[in-house]
Every structure is written in structure tokens, then in C-alpha cells.
Amino acid sequence: MLWLKALHLIFMVTWFAGLFYLPRLFVYHAMSEDRTSLERFKIMERKLFFGIMTPGMVLTLIFGIWLLFTRDYFTELWLQLKLGLIVVLVAYHVYCAKLVKDFKHDRNTRSHVFYRWFNEFPVLILIAIIFLAVLRPQ
């Protein structure tokens, strides 16, 4: 089942690449003022969200759930904590979808400073998930 774990990790990296880059696009989008840049960021955000991030998330979840059924980890605390953090990440992903839509319709109300901080959140979740998965604290 190592191939299953490899696929899970490949798509997790894909998903996180988007989770790290999309908020950075939001920073630049929020700083832009000319019509050409604004339209370019809308296209980039849409393609990143729907072409990379969302498929990465879906495939990460599919292979992760598949992995769950190959082992008997359900009662272990590290896994329960990891699954809780994954729920938080999915909520972050859904919120990113709302932000993509807001930018698309020129309804952004936040500054680039907000998005700079918003960009750091998935880093913290990734660190916690990696430590949980590798160390498996009891």
C-alpha cells in the first residue's frame, strides 16, 4: 500500500502548493489598481483554485480516506487530531473559494496586509499535520 501513500502525498503537495500561492495572489490583487492587472489576477486565481487546488484537495481526501481503511488507526489520538486539522483546512479551502468569487466580482474589502497574514495559516496547519503523522503522539 505504499503506492497509495505516495499518491496521497503527491496530491497533498499539489493542494498545499495552491493553498500557499492563492493567498499570495490575493495580496498582489488587493494591491493592484489598473484594470489589466485586476483582470489578470482574476484569471490566475480561478485557474489555480479550480485547476490545481480543488483537484489536489479532492484526490488528497480520496487517497487519505482509502488509506484509513487499510489500517486500524481510528482510535489513535494523533489521527483524530490530524483529521480535525484536515477539516479546518477544508474550511480554509472553502473560504478561499468565497474570496476568489469576491475578487471576481470586485467585492474585496480587505487589504493586502490581511492576505499576508491569511497566507500564513496553512503553514501552521501543515506543520502540525506533519508532526502528528510522523511522531504519532499517544
Identify the helix (H) or strand (E) that includes residue 101.
helix 77-104
Cα(97)–Cα(55) distance, integer angstroms? 13
Cα(23)–Cα(32) distance, integer angstroms? 14
**DSSP single-letter state for residue 52:** I
The SS3 assignment for 16 reads: helix
Cα(6)–Cα(16) distance, integer angstroms? 15
Average pLDDT over residues 95-122: 98
Neighbours of 26 (CB within 10 A): 25
Query: What is the pLDDT at residue 34?
Result: 97
Average pLDDT over residues 71-88: 91
Query: What is the pLDDT at residue 75?
Result: 83
Query: What is the pLDDT at residue 52?
Result: 97
The pTM of the full predicted model, rounded to 2 decimals, is: 0.95
Given a cut of 80, whether residue 104 has pLDDT beyond it is yes
Query: What is the pLDDT at residue 91?
Result: 98
Query: What is the pLDDT at residue 73?
Result: 76
Q: Contact, 137 vs 87, CB < 8 A?
A: no
Cα(47)–Cα(34) distance, integer angstroms? 20
Residue 110 main-chain phi, psi, to 5 deg: -105, 155
